[in-house]
Amino acid sequence: MSAFDLQAKIPNNVNLGDDRRLQRALEQWQPRYLDWWQEMGPEGYQTKDVYLRTAIGVSGDDWAHYDYVKMPDYRWGIFLADQVPDRKVPFGDHMGEPAWQEVPGEYRNVLRRIIVTQGDTEPASVEQQRLLGQTAPSLYDLRNLFQVNVEEGRHLWAMVYLLHNHFGAEGRDEAEELLARRAGDQDKPRILDAFNQPCNDWLSFFCFTMFADRDGKFQLASLAQSGFDPLARTCRFMLTEEAHHMFVGDTGIERILRRSAQLTKLDPSGDARVQGGIDLNTVQKFINFWFSYCLDLFGSEVSSNAADFFGAGLKGRFDEEKRFSEHLALDQKLTLAMPKNGKLVNEDIELRNAMNEVLRQDYIDDCKSAVRRWSKVVQAEGVDFEVTLPSGRFHRHQGIYGGLHFDRDGEPISAEQFEAMRAEWLPTDADRAYLRSIMQPVMAPGQIANWIAPPKKGINGQDFAFEYVRF
């Protein structure tokens, strides 16, 4: 068990107090982080009391404490999961060697790149979500938004700790850059595309936490296998927090679908929009949009980077140790449908080069089970509608299908055919404007906007009607 210092200026379980240089460097970064939070964090509400959970441990049921906190006073800390004694590199060319406590010199640059890419997504998501407080459908949802936001802030701390502690001056420069890039900015965008997309309505927010935070789950899980032990340990604890983010997205979409189905039934012409709700087709379009952008987050189907990450023992597969009995991934192939002259041709790819695709397939399976559940919710309300995921080739911007055109089933089509269907498959400006028009804030305890169903229960054993944010 690592000692917890919760009273320190930077709460931590990494004995920060014993390393004065590191402590000083991080304490110098801290005010810049807080400036960033004030400028780019949730707009409004910074002086309000929010019922938030704060990490006070890294394992067990009581790892978090719930109380009212003003967001700028949130105790952002550095918490690594407990060290596994005698841990070995679990896969790749160094399998069986002792896990690294320091950065192996030969992998310094790649490892830094992985950590920077991971770190970049965390503040990006906060930036994307910063205006959503203005249109929250309930205090419960407002609180969940802020919970996700403060924890993404903590995830940035997790990566900045690694950069400061293990990458010297370069690491400190990267930590500055993490506060300088901006989601959606023309000149200084965030690194990955999905984190530059606008997320200005709550349907997008729920899709984001469902699909982008779920990419987080899969990326963090594969980094939790890393032979670089400090990265593995920090990712293991981040996954504990991540579960709630995905819960917010999954149940958020489910609640919208339930309400949409109810309003569809209620309306004489079966149009949920006439009733002030969101029609099921619009929900499906937003799912198409965010799912496809989030598939891009796994990188190219064929990637020598991915092969290098795996071979070096830096990034494994999902649950590598538990799910696989063979951890070298040599002399094996994965068959991929490669686009060739407007057609798809099956080709066998070396497994290591296909590691991004292996992870993406596990992710898609995870998403599928949610979609099946959502369809049942809609059908239980008496509406004959099936929610689906588009093909993994649909609307891609990265990888072997990026920039090409496929229909929702993944069949190749022309650019003209795609454009002709765009408004049916993807959100239009009019859809987005409609969502903004119905998303008026509902700020009284126990009340909820018309376009979404209430949750089954509240947070931490509280009722839905609990005063989650105090005015």
Q: How many residues bind ligand BYC (CB under 6 A)?
A: 25
When the beta carbons of 46 and 117 are compared against ligand BYC, the nearer one is 117
Q: Which does 36 bind (CB under 5 to 8 A by kind): ligand BYC, Fe ion, none?
A: none
User: Which spans of this chain sit near Fe ion (rule: CB under 5 A)?
Assistant: 122, 152, 155, 213, 216, 242, 245
In terms of CB distance, is 53 or 245 closer to ligand BYC? 245
Q: Please provide residue 424's backbone torsions phi and psi, each rounded to the nearest 5 degrees.
A: -85, -25
- Binding track, positions 374-403, relative to ligand BYC; x by CB under 6 A: ------------------------x-----
Give DSSP secondary structure letters for 154-166.
Answer: HHHHHHHHHHHHH
From the list ligand BYC, Fe ion, none, pick the one residue 408 interacts with, judged by a Cβ distance below 5 to 8 Å according to partner type.
none
Measure the CA–CA gap between 163 and 174, rounded to whole angstroms: 7
Is residue 359 within 8 Å of residue 252, measured between CB atoms? no
Among 9-17, 84-92, 213-221, 345-353, the segment contacting ligand BYC (CB under 6 A): 213-221
Give me 253's structure tokens. Answer: 């979409």
CB atoms within 10 A of CB 93: 13
Q: In the stretch 156-195, what mask flags binding to ligand BYC with x, by CB under 6 A?
A: ------------------------------------xx--
Q: Sketch the per residue contact string, 123 through 152, with ligand BYC: x for CB under 6 A, - otherwise.
A: --x--------------------------x
Rounded Cα distance between 458 and 344, Å, is 48
Q: Which does 118 bind (CB under 5 to 8 A by kind): Fe ion, ligand BYC, none?
A: ligand BYC
How many CA atoms lie less than 13 Å away from 438 in the CB half-sphere?
21
Close Cβ partners of 199 (under 8 Å, ≥ 6 residues apart): 128, 129, 132, 205, 208
The region of 18-26, 161-169, 181-189, 290-298 touching ligand BYC under the rule CB under 6 A is: 290-298
Torsion of CA 298, 300, 304, 307, to 10 degrees: 40
Backbone angles phi, psi at 67, to 5 degrees: -165, 170
What's the min distance (Å) between Cβ of 74 and ligand BYC? 16
Tokens linked to 330: 């040599």
Compare residues 120 and 213 and give the one whose CB is closer to Fe ion: 213
What is residue 59's three-state secondary structure?
coil
- Smallest gap, in angstroms, from Cβ of residue 245 to ligand BYC? 7
- Structure tokens, 210: 């469902």
Q: By CB under 6 A, name the binding residues for ligand BYC.
A: 114, 117-118, 121-122, 125, 152, 192-193, 212-213, 215-216, 219, 296-300, 303, 305-306, 315, 356, 398
